Amino acid sequence: MIRHWSVPIVGTFVLGATLVSCAATTPDQTEAAPTESPSSSVTADAAPTAVAPAAPASSEIAQVTSAQPVIVVEGLEHPWGMAWLPDGTLIVTERPGRVRLIRDGQLDPTPLSGVPPVLASGQGGLLDVSVHPQFAENPWVYFTYAHGDRAMNQTRVARARFDGTALADWTVIFEVNRTKEGSQHFGSRMTWLPDNTLLISIGDGGNPPVQLEGELIRNQAQKLDSHLGKVVRLNADGSVPADNPFVDTPDANPAVWSYGHRNIQGMMFDPVTNQLWASEHGSRGGDELNRVTAGENYGWPLVTHSREYTGGEISSEQSRPGMIDPLVVWTPAIAPSGLLVYRGDRFPQWQGDVFAGGLVSGDIRHIEVDEAGAVINQTPIAIGQRVRDVRQGPDGLIYVLTDEPNGRLIRLEPG
């Protein structure tokens, strides 16, 4: 049964280029599982709360609008990603390792066959899903997932053919070139560029005390020979595009597209503005919204608004020449996951706005941007559960996955 409820969305119009959020968080809610300790090698990303820097001076004008959440499907076990096929079928991944189909608002009770075992531990498991942009001619579905065991693992990207009933020819087309311990920071969001190349976010490998090569593993985010803490760009078959930004850089891995990232779990390319938007987990506070550009350094862990889970300082710097500053910083953390740039016709007043899901905040941050792409306002849309993914459906409505043992697919409709 489809269930409706009304959610008023009340916000303030803020003039300014960068916003700092101070929404409350709950101490025992983390990115992967509420019961894990932030000092554990299997913990997740969202813990409150560093003291946020002051927001810039602003002028405020009240605005009110509304949307109506509709529960389309329940009974999904920790759903992570979703993608539509041309016929309207929705593919949903469940982190324990299942691929589910939703047709005409009904969840098929039988998961698809053809999925190999995954590392379903902590933040690991079967993660994002994406469909080839020319699916009719190239019936490939792409998946990211954690592979290995708790002692040695990595993010993989695979693709499989889908004939409407089953997956076949599962083929690994990319794997991170460093293995790590624990079950943190796999990244794993995917988005396509107009030239049919694929961008994939890769996390930095984990929190202290996890180490690699004799130092904290998070330092890999600044090493151009490592995939950890990067966005990588691939051709549809997994090969490396010849025009990637570091192809001719000595000792750099040619797949690297941008670097200095902690753990991006929300990412979308906007074909109207040709801009890539990404939401990224901080540690204790310091979650970020960025526009990501090829070849640029986003600073982690050399510059950050975040603090250690233990409360100590990660870096004394929040900005540095040659590194890109975030557009929005969330402290306390919202634990951002899932991101949408809205381009539908059902909410015409939201054209070009950004919607960022929050795991800890249990909401979607509606982020208004002006014609120049500057952030001017953000407003929470209450969902009441951990928001894992946010997407625009073929019908122009907004769809939400909630990361719960009994996870939901929710549709936002005009109120």
Q: Which residues are catalytic?
A: 185
Run of H or E including 157: strand 152-162
348: helix, strand or coil: helix
Q: Copy the structure tokens of residue 340.
A: 């949408």
CA distance 211 to 131: 35
Run of H or E including 402: strand 398-402
Q: Which residues contact 352 (CB under 8 A, 6 or more apart)?
A: 270, 272, 273, 341, 342, 343, 369
Helix and strand totals (H; E) in the chain? 0, 29
28: helix, strand or coil: coil
Q: How many C-beta atoms lie closer than 10 Å to residue 144's C-beta?
A: 27
Residue with tokens 């208004």, as numbered in its chain: 368
Q: How many C-beta atoms lie closer than 10 Å to residue 112's C-beta?
A: 17
Please list the residues that pair with 225 across neighbouring strands: none
Judge residue 386's burial from the number of C-beta atoms within 10 Å of its C-beta, 0-12 exposed, 13-18 middle, 19 or more buried.
buried
CB 378 within 8 A of CB 366: yes
What separation in angstroms does the CA of 360 have from each of 300, 363, 380?
A: 22, 8, 13
Q: Copy the structure tokens of residue 145.
A: 């997932």
CB 177 within 8 A of CB 226: yes
